[in-house]
Structure 1
Amino acid sequence: MTDAADAWKQWHEERTASVSAPHGPLSLTGTHWLDDYPDGKLPAIPGSWRTDGDAVVRTLDGTETRLGADATVALGERRLVVIVREGLWGVRDFDPAAPARTAFLDSAGIDATPYDPRWAVEGRFTPYPGGSTDVRVANADGRERALGLAGELSFTLAGQEHTLQVARQADGRLWAVFADGTSGRGSYRFRFLHPAAPDAEGRTTVDLNRATLPPCAFADHFLCPFPPPGNTLPVDIEAGERNLAAPRTV
C-alpha cells in the first residue's frame, strides 16, 4: 500500500508538471483549421498558410517552408504545431503566457483523490475478432470524428462487472474515454484512462486512481473525443483526477 501510494504521488506530481510545462496543454491558445482561412492568414500568426497534398506550406518573407504533421515552428516563446485530422490540416498555437496556464500556476493545480487500493483491479483485454473498428463520436469542438477502438476491457469493482471499449496506442497501451456517476458534478464531464499494455493472455491493471482529465479540461481548443456508446460506467468513480483546482485565496 505504501509503495503504491508513493508511486501514485510521484505520478501525480509528474502529471502536474507536465500539464503546466511552458508548452503543455494549458498553453494552447488556438487551433486554426486552414480551410476556415482561405486567404491563408491565421489569427496573430505571421506568414501565409496553405495546404499542399500531404503537408502545409508556410510562406514568410518570400520563403516557403513545407511542414508535415506534428511539425513545430518556433515563434518567439510560442510554438506552432501542425496537425491533421481526417484530411483537414490545422495549426495549433502554444503560448507559455496563456491565461489558463497563468491561472493554473496560481492555483492548487489538479484536484485529484489520493490513492485508494480499491480502485486498482485486474482487467482483461479482449480484442475485436475482426480487428479495430471506427466509431463516430462527438468531439469537444462540436464536430464528429472517428474513434478507433481495438476491443473491450473488462474488470470487476465491488463485485460488479464492467466493460469499457478501448483503443490501443502505438506503444501497446490501452486508452479508454469514459464517464461515470460523478461526471459533470464531482468530476469533469468525462475522463481518460491509459492501462498498461496487456500481456499475452490479455491481462492488465485497471487503476482508476490514474484516471486523467482530458486535454480539453485544460484548454478549450483541444478536440477531445467524448465517450463512445457503452463507456458510461453506472457507478461513482471517486478516484483519480477530478477537476482543475480553484485559484488559491489570498
Structure 2
Amino acid sequence: MVKERLETDYEAWRRDRWDEIAGPSGKAGVVQLATITGSAQTVEGVPGGWDASDPDGLKFTAAGADGVSLDGRPVNGTVTLTGGSRLRLSGERTVAISGSEGVYGLTVWDPAASSLARLRGIAVFPVDPTYVVDAEYRRTPGREVEIERLTDPPTRHILPAPADLVFELAGQQFSLMVIETFPGNLLVVFTDSTTGAETPDIGRWVVLPPVAGDAVRVDFNEALLPLHVFSRAFPCPLAPEGNHLPVPVPAGERAPVHGESIGVREAMSTDLKDTATRYLRRLEAGDYAGMRALCTDTATVWHNDGKGQQTIDENLAMLKDGPAAEASLHYDIIRQFTEADEMLQQHVLCITNADGSVGEVQAAMYFRFRDGLIDRIEEYANFIPAAN
C-alpha cells in the first residue's frame, strides 16, 4: 500500500517536473542567462541597453527597429521593468526579468532551442520506498564551502553549507553536506555508484524542504538531474568534496531522452539498446543491484536449458552464486534490432575462468520492455567449452 501511494504521488511530481523542464518557458529552452548591475550594460545577442541604477526599476532602452515588445506594444525608447516583467524578442524569443534594487537577472528563452526541440522525456528509475530515508539534520552554523560551478571556463564560488544529512542506506551510515545556493534553497548535490554509467557524471540533486528541527525526510525517488543537463546555460554546482555514496542509488531521474523532431522512433530504439547494453555491462562488473534497477518488478527470464522460467530475482541470485561469478565476463555485441518495445540481440559471451581457460557462449537474446525497463529476457545459447 505504501508503494502504491508513493507511485501516485511520484507520477504527479513527474508531471510537474516535466512542465518545469519542457513546458512553456521550460528550463530546456533557456539559451542565455545574464546579470545586470551596471548603468550602461549590454547583453550579447539581445538588442538594446540596460540600466540597473534607477531605484524605480530596471531601465531598458531599444529602438523600434530592434523588434522588441512589452505587453504586446513595441518598445521604442526607454521602459521601466521590474521582477516578473517579460520582453518579447524577434523569433519568438522572450526575456524574463527577475531581481530588484540594482541587481537583476535576465533569462532568455527560445522555443526553437535545440535542447528543447530534441527533448522527448526524462528517463527515471522505478519508484522504491527503500530510498525514502529519515535523516538527522546536523546544523553547522556559519560553515562555508568552495564549490565548482559548470561555467565556461569553470569557476569556483563560496556558498553557505548550513548542515549535514546523516542517514542509513543499504545497511550503512552515510553523511552528505547540504549547501544553500541562494537564501532558502537547500540543495544536496551528490554522486553515487550509478554516476557516469546510468546517471550523469556531474551528479544529481535532492532539493530539501525548509527544515525547522533536527530531522528531515529525504526522498531519493525525487533525485533531480542538474539543469545543466537540459541547457548548458545553467552554471550548476558540482558535488562538494566527500558528497559521494559508494553504493548505487537507483532512484529518481536517470537521464534526458533525446531525439530529432522527425526521429522519435529512432530515439526510443536507441534508448532500448542502451538499456540492454548497460544491463550486460553491469553483469560484467558483478553489479547485481544495478542490473535489478534496470528491470520491472515482474520481470522474468527464460533460457533454452530446459530449466524453465525464472523471476528476475531468482535469475540474479543464480548468477551471483553460480560459477560465472568467479569468472571474468565480456559481451561482444554483434548486432541489435528493435521493434516497438522489443529488441533482439546477437552476441558472443567470452568467459575467462579463474584458471585462465577461456570459453564462449554464442547466443541470441530477446528483450521486452515496459516503461523503458526490461520486463522479459529470453536467451537462446550455445556453449562452447574452454579450450584445454
TM norm. shorter chain > 0.5: yes
The answer as to 2:132 corresponding to 1:117 is no
Structure 1: gaps of 5 or more residues: none
CA–CA distance in structure 2, aligned partners of residues 145 and 89 of structure 1: 19
Partner residue in 2 for 1:59: 61
Structure 2: gaps of 5 or more residues: 64-75, 267-388
Partner residue in 2 for 1:79: 94
CA–CA distance in structure 2, aligned partners of residues 47 and 229 of structure 1: 42
Listed one character per residue, the Cα deviations across residues 77-133 of structure 1 (whole Å, up to 9, x for unaligned) are: 43313467xx986532112222211111xx2x00110201111111111111xx243
Partner residue in 2 for 1:49: 50
Partner residue in 1 for 2:190: 178
Change (3 A) 1:235 1:203: same
Partner residue in 2 for 1:139: 149
Letter in 2 for 1:2: E
CA–CA distance in structure 1, aligned partners of residues 5 and 36 of structure 2: 49
Calculate the TM-score normalised by the size of structure 2: 0.55
Change (3 A) 1:67 1:150: farther
User: Alpha-carbon deviation of 1:173?
Assistant: 6.9
CA–CA distance in structure 2, aligned partners of residues 216 and 5 of structure 1: 27
Letter in 1 for 2:108: D
CA–CA distance in structure 1, aligned partners of residues 243 and 164 of structure 2: 10
Q: How many residues align?
A: 240
Partner residue in 2 for 1:31: 33
**Would the aligned equivalents of 1:57 and 1:64 in 2 still touch at CA under 8 Å?**
yes
Query: Secondary structure, in 3 states, of the residue corresponding to 1:234?
Result: coil
**Structure with a larger share of its residues in strand:** 2
Query: Secondary structure, in 3 states, of the residue corresponding to 1:4?
Result: helix
Partner residue in 1 for 2:300: none
Partner residue in 1 for 2:333: none
Letter in 1 for 2:109: F
Of the three residues 201, 211, 217, the one matched with 2:229 is 217
Q: Structure 1 vs Structure 2: percent identity of aligned residues?
A: 25
**Would the aligned equivalents of 2:35 and 2:104 in 1 still touch at CA under 8 Å?**
yes
**Structure with a larger share of its residues in helix:** 2
Higher relative contact order (CA 8 A, sep 6+): 1
The answer as to 2:212 corresponding to 1:196 is no
The answer as to 2:182 corresponding to 1:167 is no
Report 1:141-160 matches (<5 A). Answer: 141=151, 142-160=154-172
Calculate the TM-score normalised by the size of structure 1: 0.83
Letter in 2 for 1:161: Q
Change (3 A) 1:53 1:222: farther
User: Alpha-carbon deviation of 1:56?
Assistant: 4.7
